[in-house]
Amino acid sequence: MKRAALYSSSGRPRTGFTPNPTESPRPAKSREGRQNASPVASVRHSRLRQFFIRRKVLMWAAAGGLLGLLLAALHAAMVAPPRPITQHDIDAAVLHTLKTKRLPSPAAMAYDVIRPSVVRVRGLELDPDGDEETERSVGTGVVIVDGGVILTNLHVVAGAQLVKVVFADGLQSDAALVSVQPENDLAVLRARTVPDDLAPATLRSTADLSLGDPVVAVGFPFGIGPSVSAGVVSGLGREYISPQGKRLLTNLIQFDAAANPGNSGGPLVNADGEVVGIVTAILNPSEQRVFIGIGFAVTMESAAAAIGLPPF
């Protein structure tokens, strides 16, 4: 480059450089140009940055997992293992339950089983015009087949012009006399209408029944009920002359659960609610129709023959 004298408008010389006309000025690089100038380096830098970020995240995750394991191990070491349950613990828990919770009585549990199968039996008379019904007898029956077959005493329905039964849910239905067994004072009825969920009773043989076994009588004494009374088996194989039919009844169960007129035909059940007999008569030397502690029931073996079931 040659130095040239430059003069201002005042005539004074100014010094400066003048570019060589043969040389062209070097163009300035823009930001876009610089970025486009090295794309490989930019991609490499981005990948390295992502690699280090991922590695850092993995390191933190590993550190967190290791810390969790250490804390869990420390907690397990500090907490004592559970003590094994012993028989003493079980006995103490049962005793606590017996002391704090009142259990139902055996009679209540037996009644709960037999209750859906017990019915009130009404022997009715009609007036000459057939418009009014008069109750001439009341007794009890027990459903033995879910189709509406009911077992009761013959003396409850004998002489009745119309028989009606009332089920546990309150449904009342006319009933037809299907068969009778006078030697055991038994009658079989069939209800014309039955509840949808009618439950028949479970029948049980008296072969393993012993004196002193608990029994429960369920029925409608004097039309009141259903009533429940509890007692024990007082004797087996008893004989009794029925004051109603003047017949000798044999192979009877003697029991001391309270029974009165209206209980006739009702079930005598064991502690499991299974029917072992049909309440038939009470003994009172004074000839009063009230209970003094001796009742009789027909065994289920005899009752099964009355309804056509095979013997136990």
Q: pTM for the whole thing?
A: 0.68
Non-local (6+) Cβ contacts of 205 within 8 A are 276, 300, 301, 312
Which amino acid does the sequence have at 112? D
- 3-state SS assignment for residue 102: coil
Give the Å distances, CA to CA, from 112 to 95, 108, 150, 209: 25, 6, 19, 21
Dist. CA 245–CA 155, nearest whole Å? 7
Dist. CA 303–CA 278, nearest whole Å? 8
Question: 273: left (phi > 0), else alpha (psi -120 to 50), else beta?
Answer: left
pLDDT tens over the chain, length 312 residues = 444 444 444 445 554 444 454 444 554 444 444 445 466 566 566 766 776 676 676 777 777 777 778 777 777 667 666 778 888 888 888 888 877 877 789 999 999 999 999 999 999 998 887 678 888 899 999 999 988 999 999 999 998 999 999 999 999 999 999 999 998 999 999 999 999 999 999 999 999 999 999 999 999 999 998 999 999 999 999 999 877 667 899 999 999 999 999 999 999 999 999 999 999 999 888 877 888 889 999 999 988 877 776 655
Residue numbers annotated as active site: 155, 185, 264
Domains of the chain (ranges; CATH) run 112-306 (2.40.10.120)
**Is residue 82 exposed (0-12), middle (13-18) or buried (19+ Cβ within 10 Å)?**
exposed
Dist. CA 39–CA 16, nearest whole Å? 41
Please say whether the dihedral angle defined by the alpha carbons of residues 263, 269, 274 and 280, taken in this order, is positive or negative.
Answer: negative
Which amino acid does the sequence have at 304? A
pLDDT of amino acid 245: 60
pLDDT of amino acid 169: 93
27 secondary structure, DSSP code: P
Q: What is the CA radius of gyration of the chain?
A: 51
Non-local (6+) Cβ contacts of 31 within 8 A are none
pLDDT of amino acid 4: 46
Dist. CA 173–CA 190, nearest whole Å? 10
pLDDT of amino acid 40: 58
User: By C-alpha distance, which of 35, 32, 59, 60 is closest to 45?
Assistant: 35
pLDDT of amino acid 307: 73
- Tokens found for residue 66: 């290791």
User: By C-alpha distance, which of 152, 186, 165 is closest to 121?
Assistant: 165
Which amino acid does the sequence have at 160? A
3-state helix, strand, coil in the chain (%, to 5): 30, 35, 40
- Tokens found for residue 184: 């055991």
Dist. CA 292–CA 282, nearest whole Å? 8
